Structure 1
Amino acid sequence: MRFTEQLWQEISPLYDAILQHGFVKKLTAGSLAIETFQYYIQQDALYLVDFSRALSQLAARSAQPDEMLLFCEFAQNAIRVERSLHETYFTRYNIEPQTEKMPACFAYTNYLLATTSLQSPAVGVAAVLPCFWIYREVGTYIYQRAVSENPYRDWINTYAGPDFDRVVTQMLDLTDRLAETAGPAERAGMREAVRLSSRLEWSFWNDAYTQTRWPV
């Protein structure tokens, strides 16, 4: 069994919890409140900027030129997606740019930046993997069930599309290669990083659904 297959077995309860979350259920049904989607997109735009920084850190720390190039491409794509959010969703749904990260976004981005800079590159790769992987699986799940007139169809198509699928496959292959040369302690760190980032994925959806704000 591939290392990533083992990882999926370990995080499958978290993935199931995401699928059962009200945010995903209503997004699938096309009944998600516009205010909820606005909050989500605002935070996602902030998240993607730091996600790009985390990927750039992995590029700088990679030992292999091919891996450096891959992470540079991923980092550029994250910024392109962030800009696309401003050009499409922000305009379409009258969303005002947000400058403050709310709790889940703050925790998630700071965790990724700390892990990709302070932990081994293999653990850093594991930390960023769930953002790719879970989004592909959630996007595919929703795509197969959403009605054609779903107002969030463009968002759904992005994460269920072949281009994103190709990127996720590259990340999974890289994770497996790094796990092959990692020692037991490092593989344990990779497992923990995937588990924690998967938890933060759930928290990110939940913050949007509950409109979570800082208490003061």
Structure 2
Amino acid sequence: MSFTNSLWEKISPIYKEILNLPFNKELTVGTLSEDKFAFYMKQDALYLADFSKALAIAGAKSQNAKELKDFLDFATGAVVVERALHESFLQKFDTHIDVGKSPACFSYTHFLLSTASLEDYPVAVAALLPCFWIYREVGLHIHERSAENNPYREWIDTYAGEDFSESVDRAIEITDRAAKTSSEPVRRRMTQAFIDSTKMEWMFWNSAYKVEQWPV
């Protein structure tokens, strides 16, 4: 079993809980309210601004020129492709980014930025992988079950698409390569970072459904 397959096996129960979240169940059948989806898109736009920075920081730590380029390409894709998706929906809903980061978004982005900045390259790579991998699997899961007239079809098609899937495969490949040349203590830190990010993926979707606000 590859290192990343072992990671997925460890987070499989969390992934199942992600699929069972009301947000993703209602997104699948197209009944998710526009207010909740718009809040999610605003939070995702705020998230991606920091995610792209974390990708660039992690890539700069690589001693492999190809992987450096890959991470810079990932960061560019997050800014260009996914931002265009956000703007499309926000324009459709006649709204704009008029909120700050929710507690879940704040926690997740700060975890990624601090891990990318302070941890070893392999650990940073493992922390960033769930955002790629889980989004693809959720996108494919929803795509297989969604009706053609789903109002969120553009979002679904983006994350179930071949272009995004190729990026995910590359991120998985990079993580496996990093694990092969790492010591066992580093691999343990990689595993924990992957699990922590996966938990924050659950928190992010759950907070969007609740339109989470700061308590004070």
CA distance in 2, matches of 1:160, 1:186: 32
> 1:114 maps to which residue?
114
**Deviations 1:129-154 (Å, cap 9, x if unpaired)?**
00000000000000000011000000
In structure 1, the partner of 2:31 is 31
CA contact (8 A) 2:41 2:86 kept: no
Query: Paired residue for 2:105?
Result: 105
Indicate conservation of the 8 Å contact 2:85/2:155, yes or no. Answer: no
SS state at 1:63 partner: coil
Q: Answer whether contact 1:140 1:159 (CA < 8 A) is retained.
A: yes
TM-score (norm 2): 0.98
Relative distance call for 1:86 and 1:153 in structure 2 (3 A) is closer
Matches within 5 A, 1:57-96: 57-96=57-96
**What does residue 20 of structure 2 align with?**
20
Per-residue CA distance 1:58-85 (angstroms, 9 max, x = gap): 1211111111111010011111134303
What secondary structure is seen at the aligned counterpart in 1 of 2:145? coil
RMSD: 0.9
- Unpaired runs of at least 5, structure 2: none
- Percent identity, aligned pairs only? 48
Q: Which runs of structure 1 show a deviation greater than 3 angstroms over 4 or more consecutive aligned residues?
A: none
Paired residues for 1:1-216 under 5 Å: 1-216=1-216
Report deviation, 1:100. 1.0
Distance 2:124 2:113 in 1: 9
Distance apart, 1:215 and its partner CA:
1.1
TM-score by length of 1: 0.98
Give me the whole-angstrom Cα distance separating, in 1, the residues matched to 2:175 and 2:67.
11
